[in-house]
Amino acid sequence: MRSANQKRGTLYGIGVGPGDPELLTLKAARLLERIPVIFAASSSANEYSIAFEIIKEYVSDKRVERLPFPMTRDKEILEREWRSNALKVIEVLDQGKDAGFVTLGDPLTYSTFGYLLKTIRRIVPDVHVETVPGITSYHAAASRLNMVLAEAHETLLIVPGTEGAKTVRKAMESSDNVVILKVYRRFPEILEAVNKADACWQGAMISRCCLDGETIHLDLETLEGGTRPEYLSLMIVKRESGEGA
Ligand SMILES: C[S@@+](CC[C@H](N)C(=O)[O-])C[C@H]1O[C@@H](n2cnc3c(N)ncnc32)[C@H](O)[C@@H]1O
């Protein structure tokens, strides 16, 4: 509990990028060295350990605490867990210490930081927060592919694959370029939706971008829908402009 004259610490949401420690920003690295308590989501076995691998050289002398974010859609369970995680962070802030929450990619893009932030703000509305942007998975993927995400008059949509083919079809109907995150769970129908679109589309899938075991598929038509890719996989699909290279 915070005493009346004790200043509460600041919560830092820190994006650690897609996997390559060299893609951590200088600001993130500096904060990780300074902040006494660091938290990371353990929503999937991978996410915690990958975030930890990325930051380990900056946090050698301190513990990185796991916050379990359950992979369920049950609202009651989710709210209970988010509240319990929020209270752990608030306890640190109330001791006058700064706390960092690290997430893969960017903290405000499909990230557990959004849920944590909302829950903490409900309990402590005046909490002081600073967010440090991170290089997203799809910016890193576009770089690995040397692929332009969007240019000139083109539009770009970022969508989750969690609802399957219908989101993907809708996105491809309304945008020139589409990034599909979280393709792993409903992969067969997403791949089918992409491949059944007309021939004016080209795309790529990348798994474990910037990490050991990275794989890149440039020809989606030859991919096997029956083999589920791993959690860290995304697709980028582009409407061909018809202009020469
Ligand atoms: C919860 S979202 C996290 C997005 C992250 N905040 C960002 O800014 O990229 C998880 C999804 O991001 C994508 N992702 C994250 N890191 C990745 C990587 N290194 N390689 C490929 N996809 C990745 C995958 O689609 C994965 O299912």
pLDDT single digits (tens) 22-68: 999 999 999 999 999 999 988 765 677 788 889 999 998 787 898 98
Question: Which amino acids bring their CB within 6 angstroms of ligand 1?
Answer: 18-19, 103-106, 109-111, 136-137, 181-182, 206-211, 231-234
CA–centroid distance, 103 to ligand 1, in Å, is 10
Where are the domain boundaries for CATH 3.40.1010.10 in the chain?
11-132
Instruction: Select 137-239's CATH number: 3.40.1110.10, 2.40.10.10, 3.30.950.10, 3.30.720.210.
Output: 3.30.950.10
CA–centroid distance, 70 to ligand 1, in Å, is 17
Distances, alpha carbon 21 to alpha carbons 52, 57, 62, 204, in Å: 10, 9, 18, 24
pLDDT in tens, 63-93: 789 898 877 888 898 899 999 999 999 999 9
Provide the angle, in degrees to the nearest 10, between the axes of the packed helices 165-174 and 187-196. Answer: 30
Where are the domain boundaries for CATH 3.30.950.10 in the chain?
137-239
Separation between Cα atoms, residue 147 and residue 190, nearest integer Å: 21
> Has domain 11-132 been given CATH number 3.40.1010.10?
yes
How does 28-40 read in b/e, with b if 16+ C-beta sit within 10 Å? bbebbeebebbbb
pLDDT band at 244 (very low <50, low <70, confident <90, very high): very low
Mean pLDDT of 230-240: 95
Q: How many CB atoms lie within 10 A of CB 224?
A: 10
Chain Cα centroid distance, residue 162: 14
> 0.85 exceeded by the pTM?
yes
Nearest to 69 by CA among 92, 90, 51, 86: 86
Residues 6+ apart with CB under 8 A from 216: 144, 145, 204, 205, 206
